[in-house]
Amino acid sequence: MTGDIIFRLSVRSVRVHLLRSVLAALGIVIGVIAIATMGMLGANMTLSATAQLSSMGNILVVRPHMEGGGGFGPGGGGGSSTSEEAVLTELQFKDLERAAGKYGLVYHLHSTSDTITSGSESRRASIYGMDPEDIQTVLEVETGDYPRSTNDIVVGPTLAERLGLSIGGRVKIGKEETGQHTVRVVGILKQRGLSMDINSDQAVLMADKLYTSLYGGEGEYDQATVVLENIEDATAAKEAIENQMNKREEVVSVQDSSRMLETITSTLGTLTAFVMAIAGISLLVAAVSIFNVMMMSVTERIGEIGVLRSIGTQKPEVRRMFVYEAAILGVVGAVIGAILSLAIGYLVVLAMTGGTDYFFAPASLLYIPMAMVVGIIICIVSGVYPAWQASNLDPIEALRAE
């Protein structure tokens, strides 16, 4: 109950210096908003990416083994994936089909990158060569049709938009100096987003016959993909492929999309932590402001501290009085910050990710209480030294100051 009167004194001290207190708490409000908003933004990005990638989690990508690994995503980065050693042979593909065929569709893929010209516009894009039947199974056409003749191609929606391509239009593949081949656009694919097997949004897709006539490599594939019927089979299928093909030496490397998901969430996590750390700087500035206000409060109340001590107030009670004062500023700032974080966070998430589907998910809202706790702790820590200083004042010196 002693705490009650000590707490009352702290509340009144905050109220007496209302403007000063509000300004100090404002720092905490800003800090809490910054941390909570950044945290929620990161959480929403992660949740949204996870949801998108999970829907594509039924994919195993098999690539020829290369020393030193090799990154995610199909070739097309620089055309080097067509190098002679890094290919899957027809025989290896048959092996793969034997091992993984029972788990779902297995298809092969040629890939490189080249210059695409339409009118005066030129752009580098990924080129994929696939069995025409596989194109129909794996990819969806938004407008137009699938390739029927060896001169037909379908293009991704982003590439079509950037080059201004339309159905029936003609484009040239290859550089002018090394020879160009004119093909006809028969279809524009549906937006597919980021994927492990084919990034079709900015690519050209053609029948494998056309591909090999342009780039060679018949019976030599850059990549094979297993589209699992059941996502739970991912580990079993991966093991079956490795047992079949990598028994004696490492012939292929198998990547399943769950690892990609892990990488992306971990990258987003790191990014979120980094941005939150930057936001945390605002809380540090707030801490300095709280510290300053508390030191002023101690200095102004030296005489009062002397009186309190002389009439029997123990040192820990004096300390508590100032820690309470800092905590009040922290709690008020954190509560206001939390309320504003809901509104500002919602707007920021909407602006940055284009949707708020995951805003009210626990993993997203969690950042509000987290930021509040950080804000309050920072306030209390800022009040500890002034409180300690107040409690250690010599009562006689303090009385003299009154």
Partner 1 sequence: MARSPVIVLDQVTRVYPMPAEDVVALDRVTLTIHEGDFVAIMGPSGCGKTTLLNQIGILDVPTSGDLFLAGRNTRTMDDRELTSLRLNTIGYLFQKFHLIRLLSAYENVEYPYILKHRKPDTTGRVSALLSQVGIDPSLSTHTPAELSGGQQQRVAIARALINDPRILLCDEPTGNLDSTTGTQIMELLDSLNRQGRTIIVVTHDPAVAAHARRKIVLKDGRVVP
What is the contact surface with partner 1 in residues (CB under 8 A)? 1-2, 4-5, 8-9, 12-13, 16, 303-304, 306-315, 317, 395-396, 399, 402
Report d(CA 31, CA 236) in Å as an integer: 48
> Smallest distance from the beta carbon of 6 to partner 1, in angstroms?
9
Q: How far is the CB of 25 from partner 1 (least distance, A)?
A: 19
Nearer to partner 1 (CB atom), residue 3 or residue 179? 3
Closest separation in Å from C-beta 351 to partner 1:
46
Query: In the complex with partner 1, which residue's Cβ is closer, 80 or 314?
Result: 314
Q: Select 19 or 91, whichever has its Cβ closest to partner 1.
A: 19
Residue 275 near residue 38, CB atoms below 8 Å:
yes
Tokens of 345: 């966070």
Nearest-approach distance from CB 301 to partner 1, in angstroms: 9
Closest approach of Cβ 358 to partner 1, in Å? 47
Q: What residues are paired with 23 via a beta bridge?
A: none
Phi, psi angles (nearest 5°) of residue 239: -65, -40
Handedness of CA 80, 258, 135, 188 (dihedral sign): negative
Q: How far apart are the first and last CA of the chain?
A: 28
* Closest to 64 (Cα-Cα) out of 262, 256, 255: 255
Per DSSP, the chain holds a count of helices (H) and strands (E) of: 13, 12
- Closer CB to partner 1, 91 or 311, in the complex: 311
Alpha carbons 249 and 65: distance in angstroms, whole number: 10
Looking up tokens 């009085």, which residue turns up? 321
**Nearest residue (CB) to partner 1, 22 versus 401:** 401
Give dist(CA 142, CA 187) in Å, integer: 7
Partners of 224 in the β-ladder: 62, 108
Kindly give the interhelix angle for 18-54 and 257-300, rounded to the nearest 10 degrees: 180
- Collapsing DSSP to helix, strand or coil, 128 comes out as strand
Comparing CB distances to partner 1, the nearer of 172 and 315 is 315
| Residue among 300 and 357 whose Cβ is closer to partner 1 | 300
